Structure 1
Amino acid sequence: MQIDLNSDLGESFGPWTLGDDAAILRLVSSANVACGFHAGDPTTIRGTCTAAAEAGVAVGAHVAYRDLAGFGRRFLDVEVHHLVDDLVYQVGALQALAAASGTTVRYVKPHGALYNAVVTHREQARAVVTAVREVGPDLPLVALPGSVVAEEAEAVGLRVVLEAFADRAYAPDGTLVPRREPGAVLHDPELVAARVVRLATEGTVEAVEGSVLEVAVESVCVHGDTPGAVQVATAVRSALAAAGVRVASFL
């Protein structure tokens, strides 16, 4: 039995440092690298790709709205053709920096508000799918189970990698509880570790009101930018090992 652990990395900008990427890279199997639109700058991105290559961690394009000020966590009503071009641009930039770092971009995962939007927003979901097909039709797309972007991607033959979130609360409909709501982000390492083991071994997760959701996934996201992220990720790896679950990329 195995599961992929992915984390959002490369989100520092200039002199501003976010998260402990070096520590997280020792614990995950896939790195969602910021592409400069919600976070990251060329030097940070290249350094993250180099570190991922050295750690044997797969690199994915963490594409987002053009929203540095809002860290990509604000919905933007972007015209579809502009969104497609923005996404193609981001993946292409990461591909160049990854190549210069001795690695390649292996998959695509939307970030933040874009990720949440394409759960239900069909036009933007189609924009994401169009961009991936144009820049790399062999690139898997990481998505939330039951999302319209997963549906649209599968309809045109893209590989979809379904994921769950280790440290985010779930609503009863299987969507993520918005970050602005209390309890949306979980910080207790033991609680998060137990959730991930349950996801990996049973394919279920408990929603905020106590219902049990079936979420058969190939990957679990452990965020690297929250307080105590390294402790949480360390607890997750230890718990998975104790449960006999191997951590490995879905590729």
Structure 2
Amino acid sequence: MTAIAIDLNADLGEGFGRWQLTDDEQLLSVVSSANVACGFHAGDAATMRRVCELAAERGVTIGAQVSYRDLAGFGRRAMDVPSAELAAEVAYQIGALEVFARAAGARVAYVKPHGALYNRVVHDETQARAVIDGVLLVDASLTVLGLPGSLLLELARGAGLPAVPEAFADRAYTEEGTLVPRAEAGAVITDPEAVVERSLTLGRLGRVTSRAGASIEVRARSLCLHGDTPGAVELARRVRRELEESGVRVEAFA
């Protein structure tokens, strides 16, 4: 029987100046991949440098979490950005992070959209293609991380980029396998027991229960653990421990 392996990723570096949102140092002792904010929805130069150094020290894979230019809305507000502009801004964010990753003796290995952009490129071909164009401007070997079945991953594969599907243990799913919008009640799952149970089901069986109670297939190579919720570090440690105890190997996909 083939051993099951899954990556644990978390959104890190989501501070700005004196404002800190995530416990980057502690989460980097748990996850295998770090989605580092690149300054458009959160993050700044000093934070990006620090997180890259910490990730490199711990052997955690570094990824660029790219976003619409929306610091005030934390990248969660819908925007209509012209394709050429969006592609350039995606490349800009990846390039900025790559400077700090290289300085730390590592490299940016993958790209993951954030917030409104993440949800938009599931179905919007124009915006998804612009993200792919931005990735290609930087490095045609970069992996793209996104929702299973999304246009983003389809276009990434079509462009010759490695495409990796991910799942979320603390987000509610629709019957179509997409994420329930955050504006809707119950979109974020806060019960630690439920998050752990969903992590195990996703990691071992590739399935999740939708908001309507149906068991749906969500085949993912990476599992996202959000770091901006109370008790995030302890919950992440528990998820990793229980995955490993159930026979699931935790390792980076890139």
TM-score interval w.r.t. the shorter chain? over 0.9
Aligned-residue RMSD, C-alpha: 0.9
Q: 1:243 aligns with which of 235, 241, 246?
A: 246
Could you say which residue in structure 1 is the equivalent of 2:28? 25
Could you say which residue in structure 2 is the equivalent of 1:36? 39
Q: Which amino acid aligns with 1:147?
A: S
Q: Which amino acid aligns with 2:21?
A: L
User: What SS class does the counterpart of residue 8 from structure 1 fall into?
Assistant: strand
Structure 1 CA distance, aligned partners of 2:250 and 2:196? Answer: 13
Structure 1 CA distance, aligned partners of 2:51 and 2:90? Answer: 20
Structure 1: gaps of 5 or more residues: none
Q: Give the deviation of 1:163 after TM superposition.
A: 0.4
Q: Which amino acid aligns with 1:26?
A: S
Structure 2 CA distance, aligned partners of 1:18 and 1:39? Answer: 9
Q: Which amino acid aligns with 2:102?
A: A
Could you say which residue in structure 1 is the equivalent of 2:67? 64
Structure 2: gaps of 5 or more residues: none
Contact 1:207 1:213 in 2 (8 A): yes
Structure 2 CA distance, aligned partners of 1:234 and 1:168? Answer: 18
Q: Give the deviation of 1:153 after TM superposition.
A: 1.2
Counterpart check, 1:89 vs 2:92: yes
Q: Give the deviation of 1:207 after TM superposition.
A: 0.4
User: What SS class does the counterpart of residue 2 from structure 1 fall into?
Assistant: strand
Counterpart check, 1:128 vs 2:131: yes
User: What SS class does the counterpart of residue 149 from structure 1 fall into?
Assistant: helix
Q: Which amino acid aligns with 2:37?
A: A
Structure 2 CA distance, aligned partners of 1:188 and 1:247? Answer: 23
Could you say which residue in structure 2 is the equivalent of 1:54? 57
Structure 2 CA distance, aligned partners of 1:244 and 1:140? Answer: 26
Could you say which residue in structure 2 is the equivalent of 1:14? 17
Structure 2 CA distance, aligned partners of 1:234 and 1:161? Answer: 23
Deviating more after overlay: 226-235 vs 168-177: 226-235
Q: Give the deviation of 1:233 after TM superposition.
A: 0.7
Q: Give the deviation of 1:118 after TM superposition.
A: 0.2
Q: Give the TM-score normalised by the residue count of structure 2.
A: 0.97
| Correspondences of 1:179-218 after superposition (within 5 Å) | 179-218=182-221
Structure 2 CA distance, aligned partners of 1:142 and 1:48? Answer: 19
Could you say which residue in structure 1 is the equivalent of 2:103? 100
Contact 1:189 1:231 in 2 (8 A): no
Q: How many residues align?
A: 251
User: What SS class does the counterpart of residue 118 from structure 1 fall into?
Assistant: helix
Q: Give the TM-score normalised by the residue count of structure 1.
A: 0.98
Could you say which residue in structure 2 is the equivalent of 1:148? 151
String of CA shifts for 1:31-71, please: whole Å, max 9, x gaps: 00000011001001100000111111000000000000000
Q: Give the deviation of 1:190 after TM superposition.
A: 2.0
Structure 1 CA distance, aligned partners of 2:190 and 2:226? Answer: 10
Structure 2 CA distance, aligned partners of 1:155 and 1:20? Answer: 37
Structure 1 CA distance, aligned partners of 2:251 and 2:164? Answer: 14
User: What SS class does the counterpart of residue 122 from structure 2 fall into?
Assistant: coil
**Identical positions, percent:** 55
Q: Give the deviation of 1:208 after TM superposition.
A: 0.6
Q: Give the deviation of 1:102 after TM superposition.
A: 2.0
Counterpart check, 1:112 vs 2:115: yes
User: What SS class does the counterpart of residue 142 from structure 1 fall into?
Assistant: strand
Q: Which runs of 4+ in 1 moved over 2 A?
A: none
Contact 1:5 1:249 in 2 (8 A): yes
Q: Which amino acid aligns with 1:187?
A: T
Counterpart check, 1:175 vs 2:163: no
